[in-house]
Chain A
Amino acid sequence: MASVKLKNIHKEFNGVKILKGIDLDVNDGEFCVFVGPSGCGKSTLLRIISGLDDASSGEIEIADKDVTHADPIDRGIAMVFQSYALYPHLTVRDNIGFGLSLAKRPKNEINERVNTAAKMLQLEALLDRKPKDLSGGQRQRVAIGRAIVRNPEVFLFDEPLSNLDAALRSKMRLELTELHAELNATMIYVTHDQIEAMTMADKIVVLNAGHVEQVGTPMELYHHPKTPFVAGFIGSPKMNLFEGQTAQEHGADIYGIRPEHLTLSTQTGKWQGVIKHIEHLGADVIVHIQVQALGTLVARADGDFAVTTGSEIYATPQQGREHFLSK
């Protein structure tokens, strides 16, 4: 297994700057997630690491080797695509063994390695089927099997769970985390879904408009966001961010408080407002409150908290949970 080092990676396309100087270290055996909104450059960065695209400038090292200009096959990487990219005319067995057969490995070695990967991913019963006969989750497993079988130094995942339904996505998240623990491999995972990032990552890299906003563990980013973008991006529902007087009172440009760090009361509190909208999630209830001085404030309360739209309510930020951010 191996570390990945990115040094001052720039990417321009038709004069548009997609990546603006990315410096990043992904350690050996780490599960690193690139997260950010659509168009932030996360997939481009992954494609540059894979060798499918070239960087306009900068250096890439994998396992302490400069691979900036190397072909994908010489980088020791394997990639899982959002669309799975299974070869429709080949069986599951041939899909998984495709890379090995291109490398002209002996047939019995290919069979052995395909069987091992299939066992690990519970695909043994499906080896002679074609991709069209598989469900979404099974196809995703085959795509992962195709990556595993080559024993790569680094696994690259490009939004691999985006095409699955919510229940299957949650199951696959767990399976991928277990797979990472089993293989102890370096994995780089791209997603726009911050829940995937929070639940799976050892390290999260938040990207925005072609640059790295912040790098840290999931809980570091949650508790100590350095920029308003990270504060707003990590956490669901997103953090309440206010400029103006509320922020100035605390000597900051932007004041932030997460919905789950507001205490609601019908009697008393710091901010008084009127409930505009309520979202019942079962265990929790998300309350949208119109506060005169602030605007809309979103709060999370216990699912049993009895509130009705249009009623008056008070919200109070919990001590030590407030965020004071610079622009």
Chain B
Amino acid sequence: MKRQQVIIGIVALVLGVLLFATPFMFIGITAVKSAAEASHLGLSLPSKWLFWENFMAVIKARNYMLLLAYFNSTVITVGAISLLAVSAAMIGYVIQRRPSKWNGFIYALILAGLMIPPAVVPTIWLLKELHLFKTLHGMILIQVAYGLSFSVLLFRSFIASIPRDLDEAAIIDGAKPWQVFFKVILPLLKPITITVVLVQSVTIFNDFTNPLYYLPGKDNVTVQLTLYNFQSQFSSQMNLLFMNILLVTIPPLIMFIFFNKQIVKGMTAGAVKG
């Protein structure tokens, strides 16, 4: 490697670290400061490290609201992801394998789901009519609806790379259509299913605006909404706010670190085949 290339590489690395690591360092440092020090919002090290005190204060705040929020967010994420993965795989399979005159219309609907921003007020009206407003299962359905288009497109392109001969071999072996899907196709969708589960679960777990609109109420709080506990018009507790951010960021971060390879694998699968 030439010297010039080495220098460019090092500069790029330093820039990358500054760009990506600084916000995390800022969160970490602020989270362990005292309230007074944290209010300066600087990168200086704390005079006293208050990790445990701040951690317990955040957990205990508003009668252990963060723990309830973790529970609610987990229920919403697990429920929505289960529904989303199975239904998106089935829809992707049908539109990839059974071309019909409706396909153009179905694609238009899928693209509309990606491009047109959801209208909040009519959605709330619909949820109220269905008695799903302010309920966890209502929120689950909202998340499924919002994530469906993207997931269907991912599944569809992956299924295109699975040879049709496999479906036909299963039919010759006596499989009914649902058996072809569940016994032959679905097991082969593992890489893309992992990608969909990871990407969507992080999105749903981290969602701030949708629970804010569709899931009001103290008992329905989700993790991102607990950030409001430490911000108000006249005073903000920046150290606790950032400790809260730290706690809320950890689960998705762990998933990304462990499943990074799987995510990329699933995202690029089907890109060069079929």
Given A83-B163, A85-B163, A88-B188: A77 and B179 within 8 A (CB)? no
B265 to chain A, nearest CB (A): 16
Asked whether any CB of chain A lies closer than 8 Å to the CB of B171, the reply is yes
B174–A85 touching, CB < 8 Å: no
Interface residue ranges of A53-102 to B (CB < 8 Å): 72-73, 77-79, 81-83, 85-89, 98-99, 102
Closest to A102 in B: B174
Select B170's contact among A50, A89, A98, beta carbons within 8 Å. A98
- Name B172's contact: one of A72, A82, A83, A89 (CB within 8 Å): A72
B145 CB to nearest A CB, Å? 31
Q: What's the least CB distance linking A191 to chain B, in Å?
A: 17
Expressed in whole angstroms, the Cα–Cα distance for A103 and B171 within the complex equals 12
* Bound Cα distance A36, B183 (Å): 36
- Is B255's beta carbon under 8 Å from chain A? no
CB of A146 within 8 Å of the partner chain: yes
CB distance from B12 to the nearest CB of A (A): 38
How far does the Cβ of A262 sit from chain B's closest Cβ, in whole Å?
44
B15 within 8 A of A: no
- Residue B175 at the A interface, CB < 8 A? yes
Asked if B187 is at the interface of the complex by the 8 Å CB criterion, the answer is yes
In the assembled complex, A219 has its CB within 8 A of some CB on chain B = no
A85 near B187: Cβ-Cβ < 8 Å: no
Closest to B173 in A: A99
CB distance from B183 to the nearest CB of A (A): 8
Known: A72-B172, A77-B172. A102 touches B188 (CB 8 A): no
Question: Could you tell me if A87 and B172 are in contact, using CB atoms closer than 8 angstroms?
Answer: no
Q: Is A81 a contact of B188 with CB atoms below 8 Å?
A: no
Whether, in the assembled complex, A52 has its beta carbon less than 8 Å from a beta carbon of chain B, the answer is yes
Q: Is the CB of B165 within 8 A of A83?
A: yes
How many of chain B's residues have a CB under 8 angstroms from any CB in A? 16
A81 partner, pick from B165, B174, B184, beta carbons under 8 A: B165
Assuming the contacts A85-B163, A87-B166, asked whether A79 and B172 have C-beta atoms less than 8 A apart, the reply is yes
Closest Cβ–Cβ distance, residue A75 to chain B (whole Å): 9
Residues of B near A83 (CB, < 8 A) are 163, 165
Q: Bound complex: CA of A249 vs CA of B76, how far in Å? A: 89
Take A81-B168, A89-B188 as given contacts and tell me if A102 and B163 are in contact as well, using a CB distance cutoff of 8 Å.
no
Q: Does B169 contact A (CB under 8 A)?
A: yes
Q: Are A85 and B179 neighbours in the complex by a CB distance under 8 Å?
A: no
Known A-B contacts A102-B174, A102-B175, A103-B174; A85 and B188 likewise in contact (beta carbons under 8 Å): no
Using known A-B contacts A89-B187, A89-B188, determine if residue A52 contacts B165 with beta carbons closer than 8 Å: no
Shortest distance between the CB of A252 and any CB in chain B (Å): 45
Task: Using CB atoms, name the residue of chain A closest to B162.
Answer: A88
Q: Inside 8 A of B174's CB, which chain A residues have their CB?
A: 72-73, 99, 102-103
> Which residues of chain B come closer than 8 Å to A88, judged between CB atoms?
188
Shortest CB-to-CB span from B43 to chain A, Å, is: 51
Q: Which of A72, A78, A82, A87 contacts B184 (CB 8 A)?
A: A87
How far apart sit A155 and B41, CA to CA, in the bound complex (Å)? 77
Quote the shortest CB–CB distance from B269 to chain A (angstroms): 14
17 new A-B contacts at CB < 8 Å, known A81-B168, A89-B188, A98-B170: A50-B172, A52-B171, A52-B172, A72-B172, A73-B172, A73-B173, A73-B174, A77-B172, A78-B172, A79-B172, A81-B165, A83-B163, A85-B168, A85-B169, A87-B184, A98-B173, A102-B173
A-B contact pairs, 13 of them (CB 8 A): A52-B168, A72-B171, A79-B169, A81-B165, A83-B163, A85-B166, A85-B168, A85-B169, A87-B170, A87-B184, A88-B188, A102-B174, A102-B179
- Top 3 closest pairs, chain A to chain B, by CB: A99-B173, A85-B169, A85-B165
